[in-house]
Structure 1
């Protein structure tokens, strides 16, 4: 007796166990807070005023810590074999910094940026850094970075400030340039 298997599709074929790890981290509290902040910003584009000072948590991401990996963006890219991205990364980091500065008078927008930077940093540390530490190649690391960016993009909801994935990548370069993330083992 023969069994016809035409039309079957095999997704994962292995001679042993297949192990897949997928971490989907979407902080529902952040999504809800973003919606409230967007509502405030819709009124006049500013929401709550900041008095032209940056909130403490955002200030943390805007300055380099004095401990840990204090290399700049160029050194991190060079030492991780990503020097081909230098020009693009520098432009995106500068664009991200300008976007943050654009909203310095808005406490509401600053909170949006703080949420995005917190989420990017946390997801990067939980999903990308382990791949780097395990010796993952550039393609594996870039895949994890893309998944992290897509996760953040998905949590933006209404996205009143019109963030693109490229903007989020700029924020990632901003984090790297201010000594919060890296692409190589340390």
Structure 2
């Protein structure tokens, strides 16, 4: 289809067809804090010890919510027509939980995981959930998820915990399995 436009005067965009813009909110303070946390962690692999107790913020994400949408990961994927991802999602969710548990002795690593989970949860809520609520296609939602993962990975900077995009996706499934996010409309 060809659209002709002439004699337009605009102070913004002129679009003949659809235009999608995705803007992400990044927390600049997190990158500064991450740099400090990485420096602590690089000295001995632990940084500040935790006494094998989890910090409050990380516990919040580790515990399944008891109010609101308390469906499990499988039910959420089924409701959003994503059962094709179920086995992969379960494996990544388990790997994410084990990654967090392996760093149980480090308050520093726990703080890094808390920052990453906060970032993923916030961006998912503001960008991905918004797309879902407005009826975006699965492809459009997946694009929002991908951009959320990419911008979170970029925020990590030096990335001493060596978190990959797949690890970040696992943390999203971890959030979904613990009732913090969903892939279907409310």
| Common fold: TM-score over 0.5 | yes
- Count of matched residue positions in the alignment of Structure 1 and Structure 2: 174
Question: Alpha-carbon deviation of 1:24?
Answer: 2.5
| Matched residue, 2:8 | none
5+ residue gaps, structure 2, are 1-12
Q: What TM-score does the superposition give when structure 1 sets the normalisation length? A: 0.90
Deviation sequence 1:107-162 (CA, Å, 0-9, x none): 00000000000000000001000110011111010000000000000000000110
Q: Name the counterpart of 1:82.
A: 82
- Residue 22 of structure 1, CA deviation: 2.3
Provide runs of 4+ in structure 1 moved above 4 Å: none
Q: Does 1:15 align with 2:31?
A: no
Instruction: State the match for 1:4 in structure 2.
Output: none
Structure 2 distance, partners of 1:76, 1:20, is 26
Contact 2:24 2:127 in 1 (8 A): no
Q: TM-score, normalised by structure 2?
A: 0.90
Q: How does 1:1-186 map to 2 (within 5 A)?
A: 14-15=15-16, 19-186=19-186
RMSD (Å), alpha carbons:
1.5
User: Does the aligned pair in 1 maintain the 2:93–2:171 contact within 8 Å?
Assistant: yes
Unpaired runs of 5+ residues, structure 1, are 1-11
